[in-house]
Amino acid sequence: MSRNILLTLKFDGTAYHGWQLQSNAVSVQQRVNEAVNAVLHENINASGCSRTDTGVHAQMFCCNFHTEKSIPAEKLIPAVNYYLPDDIAVYKALEVAPEFHARFSCKSKEYVYRICNTPYRDPFYEHRALFYPPMLNEALLNEEIQAFVGYHDFTSFCSSGGSVEDKRRTVYAASAQRSGDLVDIRIHGDGFLYNMVRIIVGTLLYVHMGKIARGTIPDIIKAKDRTAAGITAPPQGLYLNRIYYDGVNLLE
Amino acid sequence: MSRNILLTLKFDGTAYHGWQLQSNAVSVQQRVNEAVNAVLHENINASGCSRTDTGVHAQMFCCNFHTEKSIPAEKLIPAVNYYLPDDIAVYKALEVAPEFHARFSCKSKEYVYRICNTPYRDPFYEHRALFYPPMLNEALLNEEIQAFVGYHDFTSFCSSGGSVEDKRRTVYAASAQRSGDLVDIRIHGDGFLYNMVRIIVGTLLYVHMGKIARGTIPDIIKAKDRTAAGITAPPQGLYLNRIYYDGVNLLE
């Protein structure tokens, strides 16, 4: 009987054209498929919890696949890691219900956008954070970001190219917090549109610069117009941080 | 009149054969010399505060050079960074007294050895920490490491190949502390022998494994015999973290 396996991964996305298989570029999905198939001698194709853009990272990314093989899920972890490159690792494997799907079963996600707020670039955050030299007032960012919390039409915060028609989403929580030189912008929601987090961050930075007036994010949301919002922040600061499913504990 | 310039750097040492110029491999010193000379149109050769091994990192590394040019020290920072590769950055530049020498003027140094203590490797610490899966008891490490504090002959903790005859050094402070999955071993001393920190860490791990008995580090020190100590821990966990000079404030 076919078994449904959920893998939880971390990856540094610098070298990849996102999760999704591409015909002419290397993706994380390709590397995961290759590693799992090297272990199982099958021809699985893992389904991911989301697409990610080129250069975007994951502290938690989930995918699932169906296999005929009987290897215990936890034994897959070291075996698959052996075949994965250094910038991708599996750290959890679970057998899940047949109908479970990494994307469609997902209840909510948390993203973190990391800013390295130092006067000069820091080699240890190269490709892993947005380097932003002007001193950030994280309290201002934290105040402004609260405007996104709730159920809204996020059309103003969606790049063209997305195929989704209903652009209403719920943001459960959002914050900006400093830890030393790092400012982490955190957003937890039931779903995210194409480039939504990166446009939210770009808009917050525009508010910080004074290019967008303080307190006007509710108006930008109401405008339902991408050009009302700020720029799309670059990918290297973005991390998929948590994935939530009902009845599946990914943290213990 | 010639001016003496002190640069403070950070570097990710993964791609380099240490600080020191090599005829057949790329070193950090070579990249720094090239960048400074591209800015100043001179032929300087920066003196470093220490050699570092291949793959060792620096959160703070100091070097100095003499120049005939009058460019203000702080203007050198963005100019030199422009020519440096992504994995090396200058973040401080100061004009110092003519007799100042990055190595000989150094009063003390602090190293941090970082261990990523997770069951499976973490892509974000690849090349930047020792991956060590068995659960570490950092309290035990912290207790054992206290034996190194003080003025000792560290012959047992020095690899052959060093040219130094007097192997007595003072360790001012040492600790092992956990922050989540990371265990940082920190040692501050007036000077360090070849591979000294890495052999101290390897010895602590041997004590943790039970290959060396608890409480016997004082005996290993007294033995003045490299074979009495543990292995040399690998380079990727080691960071030069702080450099201290009299009368030069590198942190403000």
The answer to whether residue A248 is domain-embedded is: no
Please report the pLDDT score of residue B247 as a whole number.
85
Instruction: Tell if the CB–CB gap between B124 and A86 is shorter than 8 Å.
Output: no
Its domain, for residue B217, covers: 107-242
Say if residues A87 and A15 touch (Cβ distance below 8 Å). Answer: yes
Nearest of A31, A10, A182, A184 to residue B131 by alpha carbon: A10
Task: Considering only the beta carbons, identify the residue of A10, A86, A120 that sits closest to B89.
Answer: A120
Please report the pLDDT score of residue B249 as a whole number.
85
Nearest of B146, B145, B142, B138 to residue B179 by alpha carbon: B138
The answer to whether residue A249 is domain-embedded is: no
Please report the pLDDT score of residue B164 as a whole number.
84
- Segment A168-180 mean pLDDT: 98
Q: Give percent of chain B above pLDDT 70.
A: 99
Nearest of B12, B36, B77 to residue A133 by alpha carbon: B77
Please report the pLDDT score of residue B162 as a whole number.
67
Please report the pLDDT score of residue B123 as a whole number.
98
Confidence of residue B160 (pLDDT cuts 50, 70, 90): confident
The total of structural domains in chain B comes to 2
Cα(B5)–Cα(B65) distance, integer angstroms: 5
Same domain, A13 and A43: yes
Same domain, B140 and B180: yes
Q: Last residue of a domain, which of B55, B74, B105? A: B105
Please report the pLDDT score of residue B161 as a whole number.
74
Same domain, B236 and B120: yes
DSSP H stretches of helix in A115-195: 138-145
- Which CATH number characterizes residue A132's domain? 3.30.70.660
Same domain, B85 and B42: yes
Q: How is residue A162 annotated by DSSP?
A: B
Cα(B92)–Cα(A18) distance, integer angstroms: 36
The answer to whether residue B251 is domain-embedded is: no
Same domain, A235 and A140: yes
B180 and chain A in contact, CB less than 8 A: no
Say if residues A138 and A161 touch (Cβ distance below 8 Å). Answer: no
Give the pair of three-digit tokens for residue A58. 């994951």
Query: Shortest Cα distance from B12 to chain A (angstroms)?
Result: 6
Same domain, B75 and B164: no
pLDDT above 90 (res B252): no
Say if residues B176 and B184 touch (Cβ distance below 8 Å). Answer: yes
Q: For CA atoms A156, A160, A165, A170, give the dihedral sign.
A: negative
Residues of A in contact with B88 (CB under 8 A): 123
Query: Shortest Cα distance from B247 to chain A (angstroms)?
Result: 24
Q: Last residue of a domain, which of A82, A104, A126? A: A104
DSSP states along A12-50 = -GGGSS-SS--SSS--HHHHHHHHHHHHH-S---PEESS
Same domain, A24 and A123: no
Instruction: Tell if the CB–CB gap between A120 and B87 is shorter than 8 Å.
Output: no
A80 and chain B in contact, CB less than 8 A: no
Residues of A in contact with B119 (CB under 8 A): 91
Same domain, B46 and B59: yes
Same domain, A165 and A53: no
In terms of Cβ atoms closer than 10 Å to its own Cβ (0-12, 13-18, 19+), residue B203 is buried
Say if residues B144 and B211 touch (Cβ distance below 8 Å). Answer: no
The answer to whether residue A250 is domain-embedded is: no
The answer to whether residue B13 is domain-embedded is: yes
- Which CATH number characterizes residue B96's domain? 3.30.70.580
Nearest of A18, A31, A2 to residue A90 by alpha carbon: A31
Q: Last residue of a domain, which of A49, A84, A104? A: A104
- Segment A229-243 mean pLDDT: 98
A53 a catalytic residue:
yes
Confidence of residue A110 (pLDDT cuts 50, 70, 90): very high
**ipTM of this model?**
0.93
Please report the pLDDT score of residue A162 as a whole number.
67
The answer to whether residue B250 is domain-embedded is: no
Q: How is residue A226 annotated by DSSP?
A: G
Nearest of B10, B19, B188 to residue B108 by alpha carbon: B188
DSSP states along B183-230 = EEEEEEES---TTHHHHHHHHHHHHHHTSS-TT-HHHHHHHT-GGGS-
Cα-based torsion angle of the residue sequence B115, B121, B122, B124 in order, rounded to the nearest 10 degrees? 80
Range with the lowest mean pLDDT among A161-175, B129-143, B223-237?
Answer: A161-175
Residues of B in contact with A56 (CB under 8 A): none
Same domain, A22 and A51: yes
Same domain, A116 and A220: yes
Same domain, B115 and B234: yes
Mean pLDDT, chain B, rounded, equals: 96
- Segment B49-78 mean pLDDT: 95
The answer to whether residue B252 is domain-embedded is: no
Confidence of residue B35 (pLDDT cuts 50, 70, 90): very high
The answer to whether residue B248 is domain-embedded is: no
pLDDT in tens, A24-79: 999 999 999 999 999 999 999 999 999 899 999 999 999 999 999 999 999 999 99
Cα(B220)–Cα(B222) distance, integer angstroms: 5
